[in-house]
Amino acid sequence: MSRIGRLPIQLPKGVTFSFADHVVTVKGPKGELKQLIDPDFKIILENGEVVVERPTEQKRHKAMHGLYRSLISNMVEGVSNGYKRQLELIGVGYKATAQGNVLDLSLGYSHSVIVGIPSELKVVATQEKGQNPTITLEGIDKQLIGQVAAKIKSLRSVEPYKGKGIRFVGEFVRRKAGKAAAK
C-alpha cells in the first residue's frame, strides 16, 4: 500500500471539503480549488479527515493513489495558508518591475522581457539597496505557482561560471572553476 496515499488529510478550521461527480472541491478563507479525480477512486470524509482509497492493487491504481492524496493535501494547504515562492535575479543590471499582473524583466538582453502572470497569482518585485532584485509569487494553487516560477527561471537560467541568472531564494548552484584552474 502507498505510504503517502494511506495517510489521512486533516481539515483545518474554516476549510470545507466536498466530493461530487468525481470532482474534489476545497473551499477555505483564501479561496476555492477544484480537482478532477479518477472515477475508480473513493474519497471519504469522516471526523474532519479525508481518506483516499484505491479500488484495486493494479499498477495504475497504485501509481495514482499517492498522487491524488498529495494533490488534495496541497489544495487544503493552499486554501488555508497559501503558497509563496521567491526568485532572485543575480547579475549586473538585472532588474524586475511588476505592475498589476505584468512582470517586466531586464535580464541583460538587448530588449526587456515581459511576462504575463495569471490572475490567480499575486506578483511583487522588490529591489533593496545592496540586495539582488527579488520576485515574489503568492497564491493558493501550488501547481500554478511552480509552473510560473519555472517559466520565469527559464528566461535566464543560472550559468555555472559566474552564477548569473534567475534562481530560487536559498537555491545552491555548484560553481565551476573556469580556465585558470586548467594550468
Domain residue extents for the chain = 9-80, 83-168
* pLDDT for 50 beyond 70: yes
Q: How far is CA 2 from CA 38, 43, 63, 65, 135, in A?
A: 17, 15, 8, 7, 37
Q: What is the mean pLDDT of the chain?
A: 92
Q: How far is CA 81 from CA 5, 109, 141, 142, 156, in A?
A: 22, 37, 11, 11, 30
CATH superfamily, domain 9-80, is: Ribosomal protein L6 (3.90.930.12)
* pLDDT for 156 beyond 60: yes
pLDDT at 179: 83
Q: Which residue type occupies 44? A: I
Q: Which tens digits make up the pLDDT trace of 3-27?
A: 888 899 999 999 999 999 999 999 9
Q: What's the grid cell of residue 151?
A: 517559466
Q: How far is CA 109 from CA 133, 150, 154, 158, in A?
A: 17, 19, 14, 15
Q: Which tens digits make up the pLDDT trace of 82-103?
A: 999 999 999 999 999 999 999 9
Fold agreement between 9-80 and 83-168: yes
**pLDDT tier for residue 181 given thresholds of 50, 70 and 90:** low
* pLDDT for 68 beyond 90: yes
* pLDDT for 124 beyond 70: yes
What is the average per-residue pLDDT within 95-122? Answer: 94
One CATH from 3.10.129.10, 3.30.70.260, 3.90.930.12, 3.90.550.10 for 83-168: 3.90.930.12
What is the average per-residue pLDDT within 35-64? Answer: 92
